[in-house]
Structure 1
């Protein structure tokens, strides 16, 4: 009996040690990954003389907002913010609409060559963006779209991207087909089935797509760099990059201040939609 109790206590002790070790590892990794964010926040509120002080000053003394004021006065960041919001919102709406339609067509509709086209669509995910960069640029140049927002917005309304289509198609497949068949028997058209039945059941997946799309377009640097020429059409990412070597020097305080402003919307949206985001990645479309 004593030996049995000893084994139970030993097992519990081992479990506690394992859990404690895992928590310590997780906490260490969290601190490691959060350190750049903390340093960015700290630098954004520091006077210039404290940014590279030795030893490092972790908490700004005094706390100053001069970096934010200087950044907004140096470059037209209000205009950059407006451009970024326009591109991000319109492109995200396009991706949600087009990828859900295409994903539903691949999951529910029967049409010749559907599986073949799905495989071809998936194969585009294996192509690096650099492979198609020059041909796509030539196409948009011929269309006269360079130095406009069109190359950054219009493609979102033509499928939205293979990853988003694949994610939604897999989610649509988890919905019992009997729901669609019953609706069809009751007289619903394919569009009615899509709007009234399919879309309400895939809201978690749509939330995940919306978050991925928002963050991708909000933080996009390469697209605006290639297609936007005029400063008045720049986005936040291009504006932030202008502080690297501005007038021959890198304005670190202003750079970190504007970077903090650019990060806040992504953090807010993620924490607000975190529940739906996780459901969209991990759960199925079944309602119980």
Structure 2
């Protein structure tokens, strides 16, 4: 038997068939390892949000029914009107905006300056200091609730916005992420600036910060979402509607278990909390990808 004949009798002799089998294998691998898990994750995440948004425009009979539907048959804004009537909505939104903007700005500023000091300033025990910062990531914030409450209450911070903001101004995660990013910067940049007479403050804001904008934006966005959605500490430290944030203010509505007619109102209130953050997150999510990638890779 010739070499050509032996080759034709083998199973893989048909190159077109081999290509078809390879293409089919690649397709099935992509389908089961990629697309199907992504679709399942998308459904688990998106469906509750879509149901909440749709139910906020439904009258009560369309929510509590044996034949539910995703889209409302008779869309109404009555649920949002009920929220505005039951709550001092303007005050709650203003309180949430102030605590979120101020808390985020201060946290990001402290994260930038702390990370710069840990990386570029030769201070004694800076590695030990950074270890203590990392240790803060290991403890849940609830563990500090009682000491924080006693401290803030003794300073007269109950039912004040600064009492809500002050205890959470440190951000171990932001400091860690920015430190990892700062370590990737070439030392020659800062050495050249130092030869030109630049001090630490100028090197930080004119060289380091402009280069690390994606990572800083990532820290700012994650901090903003956490500040806006903060619930437990504002609930403990503020017990008057004039000083509550929006998530806490929804507690002024009656519990859903006490009246099924309030489902639509609760959905409208939850929508008012979630949708602004989703809009900001969708607009800036590309910075998260770029920032986390830059902070994780050291060249």
Task: Give the Cα–Cα distance (whole angstroms) in 2 for the partners of residues 283 and 55 of structure 1.
Answer: 49
Aligned residue for 1:123, secondary structure, equals helix
Other-structure match for 1:269: 280
Residue equivalent to 1:77: 89
| Pair 1:96 & 2:98 matched | no
Match of 2:20 among 2, 6, 9: 9
Unaligned runs of 5+ in 1: none
| Cα root mean square deviation, aligned | 2.0
Matches within 5 A, 1:158-177: 160-177=170-187
> Are 2:212 and 1:212 aligned?
no
Task: State the TM-score, normalizing by the size of structure 2.
Answer: 0.90
Residues in 1 aligned to 2:17 and 2:252: alpha-carbon distance in whole angstroms? 66
CA distance in 1, matches of 2:149, 2:239: 13
Equivalence map 1:139-150=2 (5 Å): 139-150=151-162
Is 2:38 the counterpart of 1:19? no
- Are residues 54 and 248 of structure 1, via their aligned partners in 2, closer, same or farther at CA, if it must alter by over 3 Å? closer
Task: State the TM-score, normalizing by the size of structure 1.
Answer: 0.93
TM superposition shift of 1:26: 1.5
- Aligned mates of 1:182, 1:224 — CA distance in 2: 47
Quote the offset at 1:24 in angstroms. 2.6
Q: Which residue does 2:4 correspond to in 1?
A: none
Q: Find the counterpart in structure 2 of residue 39 from structure 1.
A: 51
Q: 1:285 to 1:7 in 2, by over 3 A?
A: closer
Runs (5+) with no aligned partner, structure 2 = 1-7
Contact 1:67 1:257 in 2 (8 A): yes
More displaced 10-residue stretch of structure 1: 186-195 or 9-18 = 9-18
Alpha-carbon distance between aligned partners in 2 of 1:134 and 1:156, rounded to the nearest angstrom = 14
**Contact 1:94–1:156 at 8 Å: present in 2 too?**
no
Per the TM alignment, residue 220 of structure 1 is displaced from its structure 2 partner at its CA by: 0.5
- For residues 203 and 148 of structure 2, the distance between their equivalents in structure 1, rounded to whole angstroms, comes to 35
Count of aligned residue pairs for this structure pair = 285
Q: Verify: 1:253 aligned to 2:267, yes or no.
A: no
Shift of 1:156: 5.2
Q: Out of 17-26 and 187-196, give the one that drifted further.
A: 17-26
